[in-house]
Amino acid sequence: MRIYEVTYCMNTENLPRILVIDDELAIRRFLHTVLSSEEFSLHEAENGHAGLAAAAAFRPDVILLDLGLPDLDGIEVIKRIREWSQVPIIVLSVRDRENDKIDALDAGADDYLTKPFGVGELLARIRAALRRSLQEIPEPVFTSNDLQVDLGSRRVTVNDADIALTPTEYDILRLLVTHAGKVMTHTQILKQIWGIAYLEQPHVLRVNVSNLRRKIEADPSRPRHIITEPGVGYRLKQE
């Protein structure tokens, strides 16, 4: 019977806890150095079964997951975790095909970074994930730079000027707001806004996002709010 190893650093009670599930020792050492210096409490697992055990035992605030694990595919790990937890999962993988990204996000991952990745971008994605999971908003108002969305009154403003949106445009924006900072795949958006009958009609989504950008972006050709994840979907930037 194989014993799955879980290693972890000394837990500091008030620090955000990060679980790294990756079979590559060099990556785990690199992440340990980077994240420890940023005052995160780091836990490590070398395979999928150990990662699932660690997720249950240590209750991390964010999981960094490799897809190419020796025992379980990372997609399966995501699905099993999603059966009982909504902890943010950021995939770190050498798999760079659009289908791999879409499969991971549709399975329940919150974000996806392709190896090699920049330290600054990784830290920014972790901070965004922590904000989503820990933030307590007393009023349903989302604000990012010049954009403000009041979900209670269905009011959208840019630089304090009211923006008139169609019901569909508002529904798309509302969905992105409620998942701000998280990549939403085309499939996820189409399913929630139009239903499964429209899953093979991505042009409907593209047209509505284009119209939405013209209304809320200072320069629709260089959007600052609704960011395109090529071939995958969209992400509402959270600042």
pLDDT tens-digit map of 10-53: 445 678 999 999 999 999 999 999 998 988 999 999 999 999 99
Q: How confident is the model at residue 196 (pLDDT cuts 50, 70, 90)?
A: confident
Whether pLDDT at 221 is above 60: yes
* pLDDT, tens only, 75-111: 999 999 988 888 999 999 998 888 999 999 999 999 9
Residue 3 has what pLDDT?
A: 38
Residue 1 has what pLDDT?
A: 37
Under DSSP, the state recorded for 70 is S
Cβ-based neighbours of 163, under 8 Å, separated by 6 or more? 156, 157, 215, 216
Residue 10 has what pLDDT?
A: 43
* pLDDT, tens only, 105-150: 999 999 999 998 899 999 999 998 888 776 544 457 899 899 999 9
Residue 195 has what pLDDT?
A: 84
Q: How confident is the model at residue 219 (pLDDT cuts 50, 70, 90)?
A: very high
Which domains does the chain carry? 6-134 (3.40.50.2300), 141-236 (1.10.10.10)
DSSP track, 146-191: TEEEETTTTEEEETTEE----HHHHHHHHHHHHTTTSEEEHHHHHH
Residue 68 has what pLDDT?
A: 92
Average pLDDT, stretch 65-73? 94
Q: Which of 80, 72, 68, 85 is nearest to 107 (CA)?
A: 80
The answer to whether the beta carbons of residues 69 and 28 sit under 8 Å apart is no
Residue 214 has what pLDDT?
A: 96
Residue 13 has what pLDDT?
A: 60
The answer to whether the beta carbons of residues 134 and 61 sit under 8 Å apart is yes
Q: Regarding predicted confidence, which is higher, 225 or 238?
A: 225
Peptide bond into 167 cis (omega under 30): no
Q: Which of 208, 218, 214, 229 is nearest to 144 (CA)?
A: 218
